[in-house]
Amino acid sequence: MKNLVFAAIGLALIGTPVTAKQHLQGDTIVVQPERLNLISTLEREISRELYRIPFPADTRDNRASGVVKVYFVANGDGRAEQVSLFEGSGRRQMDRAAIYAVSRLDNLAAQGGDQPVLLSIVFAPNQRVADRLGTRAAEENMELIASGRLASRTLAVMVAPSAPS
């Protein structure tokens, strides 16, 4: 990851998980504290795992960007299981890296047993691209939930990994 820049999207998008069971108070999505813990762990651990993966030169160029959606279940032991590619980025290296990174997660703080998660990982060379991709991914995730394509307990989370400082 050293040469592939990941831009942080900001708390408005990253920290806003959506599930069909959450409710609105005004225009605000109410999130249970235990889910916030899972989200912060996902952000940290995905960044760490992706940073460890060597990427081919063509993936590190400034044009490399995309969103990879990975579905998995965070089990009660903190591991990611049933990991599968929900929607690819169109770049095989990014898709493989996302699947590999998620499959290595073993420190998830899932409360109350198994938690299905749709994780959208935003790969972007700069903030402008990250904002554009993040906005589109968030809209798509909300449509997936509204359409019923995701189970009502599914937590849809978006992360834009960053290199460790």
Per-residue model confidence as pLDDT tens for the chain (165 residues): 333 333 332 222 333 444 444 444 444 444 455 567 778 888 888 988 888 887 655 555 556 789 999 999 988 888 999 999 999 999 998 999 999 999 999 888 666 678 899 999 998 888 889 889 999 998 998 888 888 888 878 888 888 876 554
User: Side chain identity at 85, as an amino acid letter?
Assistant: L
- The model's pTM: 0.76
Q: Indicate the CATH number for domain 11-159.
A: 3.30.2420.10
The residues spanned by each domain of the chain are: 11-159
Contact 43/88 with Cβ under 8 angstroms? Answer: no
